[in-house]
Structure 1
Amino acid sequence: MNSDAPRPSPRAIASLLVLSCIVGLNTVDRNMLGLLLPQIQQEIHISDMMLGVLMGPAFMIVYSVCSLPIAWLADRTSRRGIIVCGLTFWSLVTAATGFAQNLVQLLAARIGLGMGEASNMAPASALIGDTFGGRYRVLAMAVFAAGGPVAIMICYPIIGRITAEQGWRAAYAFMGLAGLGVATLTLLIVRESRVDPAHGKAGTPVATQAASGIWRATRQVAGTPGFALLCLASVMVSVNFGAMLAWLPSFMVRLRGLDTATTGALLGTYKGLVGVAGSIAGGLIVTGLMRFDQRWLAWAPMLFCLGIIPAELMLLFADAPSWWHIGLAADTLLMSAITPCLFALLLSLLDSGLRATGVALYLLIFNLVGQSIGPLAVGMINDQLSAAWGTAALRSSLLIAPLSAAAGAALLLALAARLDTSQAAPG
């Protein structure tokens, strides 16, 4: 670890907080469909399999494919400009989703949302990686990742209340307007600042010269030691994350007997408050452990994956409310702690001039495979089992989540064994 990294400036910290708000909107806008499913199904009749398509492949394929060229552009132009344009576009699409009248229009809205949100994660992660160095980078990624849980904590109860009083269409309009406001804030506050001397200085760095074309840059990233194994591990984490995030609201309604407003408040509290605690605590713990061995950046998420397995089994199968509440809290805490570890590890493996492209390629694999498979697989299995098992079919369908967590833990252990301390040291 580079202990000589400069202390972040107030402007850098302010920019980080705004970027955290943006990733929060990104998280809520893509996942609020799962919260609003019961109301949408009452008005637009859609099978569980097609809902899985809407929540998974319809969004993720477009999101993942578009992320790579956008990120390549972000490595060569203004990352802030791309983030602002993308946020503006997807906020307009979010507002327009409230006007959908049928499955085709919902599908078009999900595709448009995927195109817009592709502009965020890779450029924002690269901007943070350039601005924050050494030990500050893990903490910065933890704050960035905390934006998702914070936004869920704030927005899900509001969305649930708006839906109960004015319908699901008004909830989409509200989130669209909120996104346009944050886009304006981004223009006023966020600045690009690079602590890496190899990026943005006089003369062209080796990494940037080598990455003059998008396919050459992609090949360079794919050949980075440890990158492929990290992607495989992350796919398993993504299957778990996608399945639970997409279908947990329906699970609460169908099997726990909660209404949409109550579900929104419950998940807002757990996924928000507990999620923030998990993200920040995970960043702090791993930052401390990395003083002894850099491989804790892989060992820690491996242990978190192992802890997710009993937590999700408790959430799905416990009858007593106190026990499944504990399972929900533990699952949220551990999953939130994994995210900053994986992104900090990824950034530590990549050269500065390839960071946005590398994050985009990582997200292409993470989302296209993982978060497409998760929601779709649960929907397909549930359609097959529901005739015989009724609403209880969803509980068995969601077992794909703890199984994928177990596979992710095994792959992260293998990755840690292949890393050396110099390779895993973020600089």
Structure 2
Amino acid sequence: MSSDSSRSLRTAWLVVVLLLPVALLNYLDRQMLATMKSSVMESIPSIQSNENWGLMLGQFKWVYAFLSPVGGYLADRFSRRYAICGSLFVWSAVTWWTGHVTTFNELLWARTLMGISEAFYIPAALALISDYHTGATRSRAVGLHQMAIYLGVITGGFSGYVADAPHLGWRFAFDACGLFGMFYAVPLVMLLRDAPRQMSADGRIVARATVSDAMFSLLTNLSFILLVLYFTLPALAGWVVRDWMPAILKEQFHIGQGQAGVSAAVYWQVAAIVAAIFGGWLADRWMRTNIRGRIYVSAIGMLLIIPAMFGVGNAGSLGIAVACLVLFGLGWGLFDGNNMPILCQIVRPELRATGYGIMNLVSISCGGLADWGFGRMRDAQVPLNVIFGVFASAAIVSVVLVLLIRPRAELARG
């Protein structure tokens, strides 16, 4: 390997390392609210019902989803670096404010602002990583970034103990995370750099697409439409598992808030970390011999999610529920770590953040409906096995969808 290649590879991995704390905070701030549900509802009586709680969770997702394509397009058009750092600072300030709200309406506004600010991060971050990491390391790099997301969920799972601690409480957790994020945004903006602009075959810098050009290119791409649907269907289960599982386990098995948070988040997220690392390595290796290697690894992950969802809905003990969640985590890690790498095989580099933003728009909008709908169904006493049976059926459809995607040879390793 030449010295220039070695330096470029170090820079590429430095970008991933710099983004790890940001990815962790991105999901820690979300998971804490789900884990500390009992404490927050006790402290803010005006929330009143599970339906209102689900509405608040859904409000975040709908705003986040609507603005994800906007954040992605701005990152493609102007700067991924500034989209990332600005997003981190603003959502951290909102996180701090969340620890000081006293009414349901204030909490709803806080989650709305959280959705606005966080919408600019994930599309820009994954596109930046993909800019620096070509086909040889792309799945591993994205998998490592997703690992930090899972660590954020794991850390958030322990926040129930913080909420229950007499001298700390749920407000302290939001204060601490908000302040750390605001401080980290300052060195990040100085150290992070956008990748060099893409060059065309004749040596010219690739022009940045207009809004109309970007939408036309993406929405007339059948493989992209299939990927959007594939990305969306498992998210119905994914968001409910993240947002509602602590409360589900607490109610079903009569355990404390701290134990429920750990059981609902830690084990399956650890499994997802293992799967993301292994899946990244396997996908990169499979790509050496088969252009569909990343698609096959992702499909394997989806096949694991199907029995996991049936199992969660029918678990008769906490141990069985956790085991099914671990299986879900293994499948999720294989699936989640390969979505952006698959996108890179079907969409031009200058459209990647916009494309991922559209994927977020559809997926998370549906996830918000799932949160709200799940709250209504729980209030109506709909059995869990019925709800999770629907999620398993959606995963079956997803396997078919991903296998229909056709990667483009000229994009597969670039």
TM-score, normalising length from structure 1? 0.88
Residue 292, structure 1, aligned to residue 294, structure 2: no
Aligned residue in 1 for 2:52: 50
The correspondence of residues 310-325 of structure 1 with structure 2, limited to 5 A, is 310-325=307-322
User: Displacement, 1:128?
Assistant: 1.1
Structure 2 stretches lacking a partner, 5+ long: none
Alignment partners' CA distance in 1, 2:213 and 2:289: 36
Contact 1:91/1:175, CA 8 A, preserved across alignment? yes
Partner of 2:252: 255
Size of the alignment, in residue pairs?
406
Give the 3-state SS of the residue equivalent to 1:75 in structure 2.
Answer: helix
CA separation in 2, counterparts of 1:91 and 1:198? 38
SS of alignment partner, residue 226 of structure 1: helix
Q: Could you tell me how far 1:11 is from its partner in structure 2?
A: 2.9
Q: Alpha-carbon deviation of 1:41?
A: 2.1
Secondary structure (helix, strand or coil) at the match of 1:133 reads coil
In 2 relative to 1, CA 362–177 (structure 1 residues): closer, same or farther, beyond 3 Å? same
Alpha-carbon distance between aligned partners in 1 of 2:188 and 2:162, rounded to the nearest angstrom: 26
Aligned partner (choices 379, 385, 410) of residue 383 of structure 1:
379
Q: Which amino acid aligns with 2:9?
A: S
Provide the rounded CA distance (Å) in 2 between the counterparts of 1:179 and 1:271.
25
Question: In structure 2, what is the Cα distance between the partners aligned to 1:394 and 1:48?
Answer: 15
CA distance in 2, matches of 1:148, 1:271: 13
Structure 1: gaps (5+ residues)? 387-392
Q: Distance in 2 between matches of 1:256 and 1:231?
A: 36
Structure 1 residue 94 displacement after superposition: 0.9
CA root-mean-square deviation = 2.4
Aligned equivalents of 2:321, 2:261: Cα separation in 1: 17
SS at match of 1:161: helix
Whether 1:411 and 2:401 are equivalent positions in the alignment is yes
Relative to 1, partners in 2 of residues 1:93 and 1:361: Cα closer, same or farther, differing over 3 Å? same
1:192 alignment counterpart: 194
TM-score (norm 2): 0.91
Counterpart of 1:425, as a letter, is: A
Deviation at 1:395, TM superposition (A): 5.3
Q: Give deviations 1:224-254, integer Å, cap 9, x for gaps.
A: 3400011111110111211211111111111
Task: Give the one of 224, 229, 232 matched to 1:227.
Answer: 224
Match of 1:390 in 2: none
Change in Cα spacing, 1:402 to 1:181, as seen in structure 2 (3 Å) is: farther
Contact 1:33 1:55 in 2 (8 A): no
Letter in 2 for 1:150: L
CA offset digits 1:192-231 (Å, max 9, x no partner): 22484349x984425x2xx1x2233122122234000111
Q: Higher mean Cα deviation, 41-50 or 128-137?
A: 41-50
* Structure 1, 166-175 or 101-110: larger mean CA deviation: 166-175
- Other-structure match for 2:75: 74
> Conserved in 1, the CA contact under 8 Å of 2:85 and 2:188?
yes
Deviation at 1:303, TM superposition (A): 2.3
1:352 paired to 2:349:
yes
Q: 1:276 pairs with 273, 276, 281, which one?
A: 273
For 1:49 and 1:117, how far apart are their aligned partners in 2?
A: 24
SS in structure 2 at match of 1:292: coil
Of residues 61-70 and 125-134 in structure 1, the stretch that sits farther from structure 2 once superposed is 61-70
Contact (CA 8 Å) 1:293, 1:421: kept in 2 or not? no
The Cα of 1:65 is off from its aligned counterpart by: 1.8
2:409 equivalent in structure 1: 422
2:376 & 2:410 partners in 1: Cα distance?
41
**CA distance in 2 between partners of 1:368 and 1:163 (Å):** 29
Distance 1:196 1:271, change over 3 A: farther
Task: Say if 1:80 and 1:298 are closer, same or farther in 2 by CA, change over 3 A.
Answer: same
Measure, in 2, the Cα distance between the counterparts of 1:293 and 1:337: 17
In the alignment, does 2:340 pair up with 1:343?
yes
- How far the C-alpha of 1:6 sits from its partner, in A, is 4.9
Cross-structure match for 1:183: 185
Matches within 5 A, 1:16-415: 16-43=16-43, 44=45, 45-56=47-58, 58-157=59-158, 159-165=159-165, 166-194=168-196, 196-198=198-200, 203-205=204-206, 208=208, 211=209, 213-369=210-366, 371-385=367-381, 393-394=383-384, 396-415=386-405
Amino acid at match of 2:373: A
Does the aligned pair in 1 maintain the 2:249–2:264 contact within 8 Å?
A: no
**More off after superposition, 113-122 vs 77-86:** 77-86
Q: 1:193 to 1:424 in 2, by over 3 A?
A: closer
What residue identity is the alignment partner of 2:281?
A: L
Q: How much has 1:132 moved relative to structure 2?
A: 0.9
